[in-house]
Amino acid sequence: MKLSRLIAMAFAGAALTVGAATQPVVAADNPYERGPAPTNSSIEATRGPYAVSSKTISSFSARGFGGGTIYYPTSTADGTFGVIAVSPGYTAAQSTISWLGPRIASQGFVVITIDTNSRFDQPGSRGTQLLAALDQTIADTTVRSRIDASRQAVIGHSMGGGGTLEAAKTRRSLEATIGLTPWNLDKSWPEVEAASLEIGAQNDTVAPPGSHAIPFYNSLTNAERRSYLELRGASHFAPNTSNTTIAKYSIAWLKRYVDNDTRYEQFISPGPSPSLTNGISDYRIN
């Protein structure tokens, strides 16, 4: 059983057994909670509360993927952090998703953005490479003392987004997945247990949401939780440049399911109401 589910069960049990003079368990009892209480401004900011350092993993030293960059909180004062791997899409390089590395790391995560072995690698291969990148980051001498290896997640764009589901199907212990305009020929993912957020783009002609992200969302029937967010007026390549909507809801999702931090539930449920002004055309959550 995944760590987050065990914690939730423990919290529920504690709340049920408290006596009349005892306060129920609250979010502050969560040992993985990191950083100050969130606000819209704090998770929309280009940088969070943690200063970030980086380390390059060359293609020669990478084991099972094409190289990458590790971004990590410089301070160790708050203990360990969850670890996240991020894959680019078909024919794309790490540079197309590198903006996510420091942005997410500054909120209290260790993040590796990767190059793939070949720019033509399919989702299955990208899923395997995401897991290889997680494993190498966890073992890395610079950051391993900062990482809680029990809390892992994956993010990917396009075929990398399809690869996140492949990774979660293989490694059932993953806490969360986020697919950014995801693409995969397989449309059904009942095997995935990780909390999964699929972010589609309204004007995507490469991976139209109706034939990719939405069927993925609908099929995630055994996921701890699933959500679908659609970027209004956006194309398939929206994740390739800094995007506040993508960052905001990705951070909220990772905080909620990698850190088990219920302070971020306010951004997930009931979630944003689609409007012309907030850049969102659809939002669903089970």
Q: Which residues of 77-107 are buried (b: 16+ CB within 10 A; e: fewer)?
A: eeebbbbbbbbbbbebebebbbbbbbbbbbb
Please say if 118 is a catalytic residue.
no
Catalytic choice (98, 125, 158, 219): 158
Catalytic choice (157, 227, 236, 259): 236
d(CA 279, CA 286): 21
The arrangement of strands across the sheet holding 226-231 comes to 52-57, 68-73, 109-114, 81-87, 147-157, 176-180, 195-201, 226-231, 280-285
Please say if 204 is a catalytic residue.
yes
Catalytic choice (121, 135, 140, 204): 204
The distance of Cα 166 from the centroid of its chain, to the nearest Å, equals 14
d(CA 105, CA 177): 16
Q: Report the relative pairing of strands 109-114 and 81-87 from DSSP bridges.
A: parallel
Which tokens hold the place of 54?
């980086």
Please say if 158 is a catalytic residue.
yes
Q: Which residues are catalytic?
A: 158, 204, 236
